[in-house]
Every structure is written in structure tokens, then in C-alpha cells.
Amino acid sequence: MFTLDAGDELDLVVETARKLAEVELVPRLRESEQSRAVAVELRAAWDEVGLAGLELPEASGGAGFGCLARVLVNEELAAGDAGAALALDRYGPALTTLLEVGGEPAVARLQQVLGEGAARAVFVGPGDGSIERAGDRVTISVPWIASERVDAAVLLHGDEALLLTEGLVLEPLRGAGLRAAGAARLGAVGAPIAARWSNPEGAVRALARARLYYASLLLGVMRAACEFAAAYSQEREAFGKPIGHHQALAFLLTDMRMALDAARLLVHEAAWRADRTMPCAAEAASAWAECIEASRQIGPGGVQVLGGHGFMADYPVEKHMREARALGLRLGGFDAAIEDAGRVLIASDAPLRLGVAGSL
């Protein structure tokens, strides 16, 4: 039976993430965007609360929490600043990809490569860019990643996870959304493969968990947009009463909240299934597609509630709309998610295979 009870220990972790977002991320929101990076003090606060090793196995010095914990924490952080949340997490889906495909030895190898400090890994999944492999070398072209530093890249390619540590070239980009994380074009020509692991079932689960990672960030962005728009609608008055009391805006705010809550339920169920090693590929793909679809309503909806003010940097809803659009492009976006979900649902007895010909 699917349960929404996170448990006392996880509740405490989520509350810690919520306080970090409220106290540290939100006050520095525009500062982080302007500098395209998080402040040193913010990174110190992140390390101090212990969220850095949330999904790391206990044998690797982490907390050993699973997918649901990551989903819950990501939503809280992204409700503060999704770009900063990405900048603070030095592993991202790269960690769970190696964990699912290569197990703890693969995670240990990544830790060895990154060492201590601000070193970070990026994840490149299906739909993020192109890859050409020739023996033990690969050529990749990824138009956009949310980072301006890459010390290792983990590619999910077919049934394999590939680790690259050399030959990676970054070209900084201006970027529109998630600016606190930075933006760059990632490429490599004939880069040596430092290590690779193969696991067909693990690769499917790795893609599912990557989708849930980005879906949970999108939930946080949408929640922030809904909450700010609702609060604004009670403060701004027109024709003698708060604008939220007018039917058109009341219906819009309600539709936004319904879309958010529906998407959240799908994400939580898929994460719950992932933690119990149940089939979750179709559920994660469906949840990711639903989040993207909801964001297309909630992002512009938040701006619409504020009218012309919604496009001004004085208010955060323009940022919410930008970041929702940016997040929704990952892993091939809506179309790839729908295609994968349909493939599993129509032929549930056939395992999902990731494409390996030319495009990730």
C-alpha cells in the first residue's frame, strides 16, 4: 500500500531543508542569480546541516536515504531557489546513476575522483545531448548544463554508465533559468572513458530516479509560484476587494494548486516504488511529464496573477517561470517522458531499453 507517512527521521530532514531554504536561500536569491554561484557561507551552511550526503550509502559516509527523501528535500530547497539547490548538490543524478548501475564500488570511484571541496559531477542522460563512442573514447555535445564547473561527467548511455574525468570542455553561457547554478555548453572530443559499468535493469532505474530528481525540483518551483501568487492576490485590491476574490483569478489560483498537488502525488508514488525496488520506469516518466505539463500552466499563471508586475525582477514569479521552463528541458523533456511511459505501459512485459544510436 502506498503511504504518505515519511516517518519521524525523514520529517526532521525535510524540516532542516525547509529552514535552510527559508533562512539561507531565499534572502540571497537575487544575489546568487547575479553572481551565477552560491556564496561560500551558503555552501558552508549546506555542509553543516548534512544534506550533502543524503543519498550516499552509509558505507561511503552518507546518510543512506533513498529516492523519496531526495524528492522531499529537493522540493523544499527548490521552493527557495532551484538554481542554488543544483549548485549545492555536487552529485545530482550522477550519484544515483552510478549507484543503480555500478553499485557502491562505482560510487566510491566517483568520490575518489571528486575528493573534497567544491569539485562536482554532472549528469548527462538520454535527451540531454549527443554521444558518439569509439572503443574506449567518446565524443559528446551537450548544449546546456546547469553548471560552470565540471570535474567529472557521468553519462547514462544505453545499459551503461560511463565516467569521464578528462577531456571535458566547458563554454560558459548566459542562461535564462537556474542562473545561480551557472550555465555552460559541455563538449568532449575523443575523451577517454575512465570507467564504465553495465546493468540493463539498473540503467532503467537510474533514468527513473533522474527524472524524479528534476521533477521534485520542479515541484518546489511550482509551489513557490502558487504560494506567492496566492499571497499577492490577497494583498492587491481592485474594485474594492482583493483580486483573489474575483472569480477569474480565484479559478486560476485553484487550477494552479490542483495541478501542483496532482503532480506531487505522482512523484511521491513513483519515488516510493523506487525505494522498494518495484517497477517504477513508467510511473517516473508519467510523473515527470505531469510536472512539465503543470509547470506550463503554473509558471505563466503566477505571472498572470501579478499582471505587468509579474515580469519585473522585484517579484519572484518571473524567476519561477524561467526556471520551470529550464528544468522541463532535461532528459528530453515532455515528449521523451511520454514516449517512454507509453512504451512500458503498452508492452509491460518488455523491458525499457534506452536509445544508444547517436543521441542521448
Query: Residue 208: inside a domain, yes or no?
Result: yes
Within-domain flag for 42: no
In-domain check, residue 72: no
Tell me which residue range forms the domain holding 224: 202-346
Q: Is 278 helix (H, G, I), strand (E, B) or coil?
A: coil
- Please tell me the distance from the alpha carbon of residue 337 to that of residue 270, in angstroms, as a whole number: 14
Task: Answer with the residue of higher pLDDT: 99 or 8.
Answer: 99
pLDDT confidence of 5, banded at 50, 70, 90?
A: low
DSSP character at residue 329: T
CA distance 286 to 334: 9
Phi and psi at residue 124, in whole multiples of 5°? -120, 115
- State mean pLDDT over 228-238: 91
User: What's the pLDDT tens digit per position in 287-341?
Assistant: 999 999 999 999 999 999 999 888 988 899 999 999 999 999 999 999 999 999 8
What share of residues in the chain are helix, strand, coil (percent, to 5)?
Answer: 60, 15, 25
pLDDT band at 60 (very low <50, low <70, confident <90, very high): confident
* Mean pLDDT over each residue of the chain, to the nearest integer: 91
Q: What is the pLDDT of residue 358?
A: 37
**Quick one: pLDDT at residue 360?**
35
Residue at 260 is within a domain: yes
59 occurs within a structural domain: no
Q: Is 232 contained in some domain? A: yes
Question: Above 50 in pLDDT, residue 357?
Answer: no
In a domain, 125, yes or no: no
pLDDT score of 243 more than 90: no
- The dihedral sign for the CA sequence 344, 349, 352, 356: negative
pTM of the model: 0.92
For the chain, the domain total comes to 1
Q: Please determine, for residue 76, whether its predicted confidence score (pLDDT) is greater than 60.
A: yes
Residue 212 has pLDDT above 70, yes or no: yes
Q: Report the CATH number that the domain containing residue 219 is assigned in CATH.
A: 1.20.140.10
**DSSP-assigned letters across all residues of 22-87:** IIIIGGGHHHHHHHTS--HHHHHHHHHHTGGGSSS-GGGTS----HHHHHHHHHHHHHHHHHHHHH
pLDDT in tens, 142-154: 999 999 999 999 9
* Residue 239 within a domain: yes
